[in-house]
Amino acid sequence: MSDQAVTRRWDTEATRTLVHAQFGSLQLALLAPPLRAVNYRLAHAQYHYLEWQRIVGAHVDNQLALGRDICEIVFPSSSEEVMEHNLFFIESEAHLYACVQAIHAAADNLAHVVYFGLGMNLGNAVAARDVSFHSMAAHLGQACSDDASLKSLADLFQQLKLADAFKDLSELSNQMKHPGGPPANLALAPSAGQTHEMRFGNFIRAGQWHPERSASDLLEDAFRVVNVAVVDVGMALTHRLQTTVKDRRPA
């Protein structure tokens, strides 16, 4: 999981400068926490993903490389091995859950960046307590009918909202936060050439069945679409601010 797919770069310093120029230092102070968070939560996701891979490597892959059979690892025979195997699942699940929730949180952080970046807290359009990714997507979708300069931001939020990888991540994150689960499972011989694969178990949410999913596939796809969205939204926000700041300057 990396940000190599994003070749464009969001100049966050330019965004800060423009927000300060248009709204002042207090607004810049309000923008600072979500602006930091949107980047750090993605960095947290990468950290947890790499730690999870390290744990799987130490417990499974390295043992296979030493000649142990996968069944010996999955079905431990001694009490010490049972404890190690149980710890493996606890640590794996902890990092997988944290990775899911970090990626998902970045989208809500991004909504707050737009909220403070556009000075929406200075009016009555959206209350700060109601700001989330989905509420911002809905607000921008409505607002762009009156303000065409918001259309690019509205389209980007809608694009992420409809992305299959983000929808899957959202369902999984909300299942984890509220009813709980699903567990992280170790599937044996999932496909030709693979002896094992870590998966998120199946679950039912709002009457919809969600089958087992490869943990690495789901996380890598979700990280990619959210990472791209962060950069694209950031650039669109900066462009919108450049236009409005320019328009306010005297002729």
- The secondary structure of residue 126, as a DSSP letter, is S
Longest dimension (CA), the chain: 81
- Extended strands (E) in the chain: 184-188, 196-200, 203-205, 208-210, 213-214
d(CA 128, CA 148): 23
pLDDT at 71 over 90: no
pLDDT of residue 127: 86
Instruction: Please tell me the predicted confidence (pLDDT) of residue 251.
Output: 40
Beta bridge partners of 210: 203
Radius of gyration of the chain (CA): 22
- Residue 250: what pLDDT? 41
For residues 40-46, give the mean pLDDT: 98
Please write the tens of the pLDDT for every residue from 140-195: 999 999 999 999 999 999 999 999 999 999 999 999 999 998 999 998 877 667 77
Give the pLDDT band (50/70/90) at residue 4.
low
* pLDDT for 242 beyond 80: yes
Mean pLDDT for the stretch of residues 101-128: 93
Q: How far is CA 175 from CA 41, 97, 163, 220, in A?
A: 20, 11, 18, 19
**Predicted TM-score of the model (pTM):** 0.92
* Confidence (pLDDT) at 213: 93
How far apart (Å, rounded) are the C-alpha atoms in residues 141 and 156? 10
pLDDT at residue 249 is higher than 70: no
Report phi then psi at 110, rounded to 5: -65, -40
Cβ neighbours around 221 below 10 Å, total: 19
- The predicted pLDDT at position 15 comes to 97
Q: What is the mean pLDDT of residues 15-19?
A: 97
Q: If you write DSSP's letter for every residue of 170-193 in order, what string do you get?
A: HHHHHHHHTT--PPEEEEES-STT
More confident: 98 or 247: 98
Q: Residue type for 16, please? A: R
pLDDT reported for residue 247:
56
pLDDT at 195: 78
What is the average pLDDT value for the chain, to the nearest integer?
Answer: 92
Return the pLDDT at 180. 95
